[in-house]
Each structure stands twice: as structure tokens, then as C-alpha cells.
Structure 1
Amino acid sequence: MKFIISLVTLVLFSLSAFADETLSERELKQKAKAFIHAKNARQQPNTTVEDIEYFISLLADDFIDEHLKFNVTTTSKE
């Protein structure tokens, strides 16, 4: 539950860069679902480079992605 709340918050703050563009609740939910789907897809054993690149494209330029199980933190799109 905390993950979903954090995700929705992340999406809302990421979208603030497009402040002149107002999104409906339905559109925000679609974007959040797309983000969750992309995050889950990149964590699968059969993930592809395209899955990873798509997930990264959804992130802001300055982000922190932590993988707790493997103690890995990523802070760059490189």
C-alpha cells in the first residue's frame, strides 16, 4: 500500500513539469498503471532491454530507484 501511495505521489510530482496541462483523474490513474506495469515488467527474469529503457524513460532526470533485495540504488538514466 505504501508503494502505491508513493508511486501516485511520484507520478503527480513528475507531472507537475507539465503544469499547464491539466489531467483528469482517469488519465492520472492510467499513467500510474502504465508506470506500475513498466516497473513490474523490468523486474521479470525474461525482461528485455526495451522493457528497461521504457521504464527509465518514465523517470525524471533526477530520481532514486532502490532495489532493496539486492541492495542496489540507481540515480542516473545512464
Structure 2
Amino acid sequence: MALGTGIFLIVIGAIATFAIDDSIDAVDLGTVGWICMAAGAVAITVSLVANAQRSNTTHREIRDEHVDEHRDQRHVER
């Protein structure tokens, strides 16, 4: 989800910086655009790092041998 948000922020920032020539009183759209692009880059970076960490997890099954032996004996006795 953060990946899509980051791309969206970069697109909106690029439009505000490079494509819009109008100005709003007390708001510099170029600066707002650069801030949006930087925030989008940070969001994409954080998303990729989080996904890389998630895929490096390992799972280990711990089995208690006494429980397995007890289960095997019940099945044999019947």
C-alpha cells in the first residue's frame, strides 16, 4: 500500500513542480511539489525495505517427541 502511495505522491509532486505555472498566494507550488516527491521517495524506500524484511523470515517447527510417542501408542492399542 505504501508503494502505491509513494508513486502517487511522486506523480502529484512532479505535476505541481513542473506542469503548473499558476501560483496561489502564500503557497509556492514548486516547493510543495518537491516536498511531495521527497515524501513519495521515502514511502517507496520504506515499503521496499519492509517487504524485503518480511520475505527473509524463517519458520521452525518444534516437535515434542514424548507427545508423538504417546499418540503412536494410543493408535496401536486400539
Is the TM-score greater than 0.5? no
In terms of Rg, which structure is larger? 2
Ranked by relative contact order (alpha carbons within 8 Å, sequence separation 6 or more), the top structure is 2
Q: If each structure's helix is expressed as a fraction of its own residues, which one has the higher value?
A: 2
Q: If each structure's strand is expressed as a fraction of its own residues, which one has the higher value?
A: 1
If the length of structure 2 is used for normalisation, what is the TM-score?
0.30
If the length of structure 1 is used for normalisation, what is the TM-score?
0.30
